[in-house]
Structure 1
Amino acid sequence: MIIVITGAGSGLGRELAKVYAEGNDLILIGRSLEKLEETKREIEGAKSINCISCDITNPQSVENLKEKIKHIHNFVDILINNAGVGIFGPIEDMEYKDIDTVIDTNVKGTIYVTKVLMPMIKEKIMNIISTAGLRGKVNESVYCASKFAIRGFSESLLKELEGRIKVVAVYMGGMDTPFWNNTDHVKDKSRFKSPREVALKIKELDDGRCEIVI
């Protein structure tokens, strides 16, 4: 299978690339080509691995992504929308630029990539959402808003693409990843599951269901 993974340069994206690698062709997407190459060096068992730098918040960059993928493969079996960002705090303290960053990356970026690659996708779209898309959380109003949006996007795609392409929404709690490095919102991220544990659980539960909750 040909699998595209966004946000593959670190954290859960990197671990998903590892656990889905065996016997498959991987296309790793992220802002930093250097980080994607680091991920590539850690992967074993893939048939092929291609790394493509893309700013998913930029429509032209996403259009260019499609053309770059077309030069490698004529179609994609699975798209895993994993890329995301979190900026936390009371809503009155949130900077406009930070609100834009969260919405542009988590919502518009996911929608842009899905829209542009849709004609190439043969089997499945998997959206990594988080439990922030299931319930509100203190000091996570903007982040939760972005994840609730992708929950609605996923549920709508499920109906729109029924009988054509499978849609899977993944809801997991916090992970011990670099995601939290630039915030003091989480005091002790070591209590969270590792991205490796979460990636393995996602693959284990990826059995045809339309929703995975970890």
Structure 2
Amino acid sequence: MQLLKTILITGAGTGLGKELALAYAQEGNRIILVGRTQAHLDEVRQMIDKTNGSARSVVCDITDTNQVKQVLAHLNETEKIDQVINNAGIGYFGPLQNIPADQISQMIDTNVKGTIYVSQAILPTFLERNAGKIMNIISTAGLRGKVHETAYCASKFAIRGFTEALVKELENTSITVSGVYMGGMDTPFWDENHFITDRSRLKSAKDVALEILEREHEIELIIS
């Protein structure tokens, strides 16, 4: 299998991150699986290995800027990363007055700071090569306010602003930055809360991953 690109995906152990990893690997890309749980990452890596794909699992807490810098510095010594997909995210829902401060902090730390830290850490390498892609998985919660999603929407609106600003900051380079605004999916994201009780109406993570991949191909065709 001919390798096309080396793609780093955060939150790659479960849900959409896992399905994105499998979909991109199927096309011959080398995948760097990043997440907090080694067992989940290794499971995905083994699935890719079984299809003769190429993958590597790396444990990293993206909310820790020093850890992100160390991990990316090490990876840059051994890998030529072509694309980063900032997929890792967490959500807590309910009336604003009922959301504990620690849950608000977790959403801001993971969804906002984590995305910024990873992008910031890879950017010097991309700028040096004047090439690279950053894709931020944002959610429709970054497009409009939703009942009982106040803090979650705040975190996603923040990443929308970050993405749009980074597009402008890099508009005179060959680095591309994009945001993906997908709706709810049937993933382990919902396992720890009861915000959505009927998950049968949600799209599968695999279907969404394939939609993202197809859309990226369409954009590449237009650019070329």
Normalization by structure 1: what TM-score? 0.93
Offset at 1:208? Answer: 6.1
**Alignment match of 1:170 (pick from 162, 180, 183):** 180
1:158-186 CA-to-partner distances (Å, cap 9, x unmatched) read 11111321111100110000000011111
1:1-54 CA-to-partner distances (Å, cap 9, x unmatched) read 1100000000000000011112221111000111000111222343x2111000
Q: Report the identity percentage.
A: 52
Alignment root-mean-square deviation, CA? 1.4
Q: Verify: 1:196 aligned to 2:206, yes or no.
A: yes
**Alignment match of 2:84 (pick from 79, 83, 99):** 79
Structure 2 distance, partners of 1:116, 1:71, is 13
Offset at 1:72? Answer: 2.2
Spell out the pairing of 1:1-214 with structure 2 (5 A cutoff). 1-21=5-25, 22-43=27-48, 44-46=51-53, 48-73=54-79, 75-121=80-126, 122-162=131-171, 163-207=173-217, 209=219
Structure 2 distance, partners of 1:105, 1:148, is 14
Aligned residues of 1:168 and 1:209 also touching (Cα < 8 A): no
Structure 1 distance, partners of 2:218, 2:169, is 17
User: Unpaired runs of 5+ in structure 1?
Assistant: none
Q: Answer 1 or 2: which has greater helix percent.
A: 2
Structure 1 distance, partners of 2:52, 2:145, is 39
Q: Secondary structure at the match of 1:135?
A: coil
Structure 2 distance, partners of 1:130, 1:93, is 23
Number of aligned positions between the proteins: 208
Structure 2 distance, partners of 1:120, 1:14, is 25
Aligned residues of 1:129 and 1:171 also touching (Cα < 8 A): yes
Normalization by structure 2: what TM-score? 0.89
Q: Secondary structure at the match of 2:135?
A: strand
Structure 2 distance, partners of 1:84, 1:171, is 13
Structure 2 distance, partners of 1:86, 1:108, is 14
